[in-house]
Amino acid sequence: MTEHDIANLLDQAAAARERAYAPYSHFPVGAAVLTNSGEVYTGCNVENASYGATCCAERVALFKAISEGHKEIRAIAVVAAGEEVVPPCGICRQVMIELAPQAVVAMANLEGKREIQRVAELLPSPFGGGYL
C-alpha cells in the first residue's frame, strides 16, 4: 500500500463519518474498505435505541464489500474524533479476522494523527472457524 492509497482511504472514511447516525453516543465514526480489485466501500456507524442493534462503521463497510462479491480485502480505514486514534471495537476485530485477515488497518483522528496495523496485530489469538 502506498502513502497515497492510505491517505485516499482515510479521506473517504472521514467523508463517510459525516453520514453517521449517532444520536445516542454522539460519536460518529467513518470507515472505508479497499478491495484487492481496487474498489472502495464506505460505511458509518448506525445507532439504535436498542444498543445491540447498532452497527459499527467498519462492519457496515466490510459487509457492503462482501455483499457486492468482494472476498479479498486489502485495507480498512477508520476515522473518529478524539485526541488519540480510535481502534476498532472487539466485535469489529472479530469480523475483520474472518473477512479480512491480511488487511492493513489505518486508524486516524480528525487532527491527522494516525496509526497503521495489520488485523492480526489488533486481534492476537483469534477465535475462528477451525474451533467449530
Specify whether 98 is catalytic: no
In this predicted structure, what is the pLDDT of residue 1? 83
Angle in degrees, 0-180, between the axes of helices 3-17 and 57-67, rounded to the nearest 10: 110
Domain that holds residue 77: 3-131
Catalytic residue among 39, 58, 84, 98: 58
Question: Which 3 state secondary structure label does DSSP give 23?
Answer: coil
Measured in residues, the chain has a length of 132
Collect the ranges in the chain with pLDDT lower than 50: none
Cβ proximity of 109 and 83 under 8 Å: yes
pLDDT, residue 128, reads 87
Report how many domains make up the chain: 1
Give the domain CATH number at 53. Answer: 3.40.140.10
Residue 80 · residue 103 · CB < 8 Å = no
